């Protein structure tokens, strides 16, 4: 799935293992697009890749606005976000990614 996001030049792709933190999914993949149009295109590519692998997406949220598109693939949730939206919500920090915490304190 990461390769699918890379194909459309998603920035700062992070994979978070959240198995110990929640039962709603095992992994979260977060990637940024430089515009709402690119964010939607990245989400479309993630959906295409899932379908190619025989995975039927359970749903999407936020596609119309394009600032944050969530693609629910069951065990994996893909977040395609505009950089400003990503900076505001700080999902990496929310879900306890230690690398993000180290980067935040270095600023």
Residue 19 confidence (pLDDT): 87
Name every residue whose Cβ is closer than 8 Å to that of residue 87 and which is 6 or more positions away in sequence: none
d(CA 59, CA 11): 23
Which residue range forms the structural domain that includes residue 50? Answer: 2-106
| Residues 80 and 29: beta-carbon distance below 8 Å | no
d(CA 36, CA 83): 10
The structural domain count of the chain equals: 1
Q: 27-67, pLDDT tens digit by residue?
A: 999 999 999 999 999 999 999 999 999 999 999 999 998 89
What CATH number has the domain bearing residue 58? 3.30.460.10
Q: Against a cut of 0.95, is the pTM above it?
A: no
When pLDDT is cut at 50, 70 and 90, the band that residue 101 belongs to is: very low
| Residues 32 and 11: beta-carbon distance below 8 Å | yes
Residue 28's closest CA among 64, 54, 60, 2?
Answer: 2
């Amino acid at each position: 799935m990461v390769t699918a996001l890379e194909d459309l030049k998603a920035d700062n792709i992070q994979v978070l293992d959240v198995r110990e933190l929640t039962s709603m999914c095992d992994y979260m993949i977060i990637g940024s697009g430089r515009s709402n149009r690119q964010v939607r295109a990245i989400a479309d590519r993630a959906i295409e890749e899932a379908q190619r692998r025989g995975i039927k997406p359970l749903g999407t949220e936020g596609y119309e606005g394009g600032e944050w598109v969530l693609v629910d693939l069951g065990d994996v949730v893909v977040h395609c976000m505009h950089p400003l939206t990503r900076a505001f919500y700080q999902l990496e920090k929310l879900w306890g990614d230690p690398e993000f915490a180290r980067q935040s304190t270095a600023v």
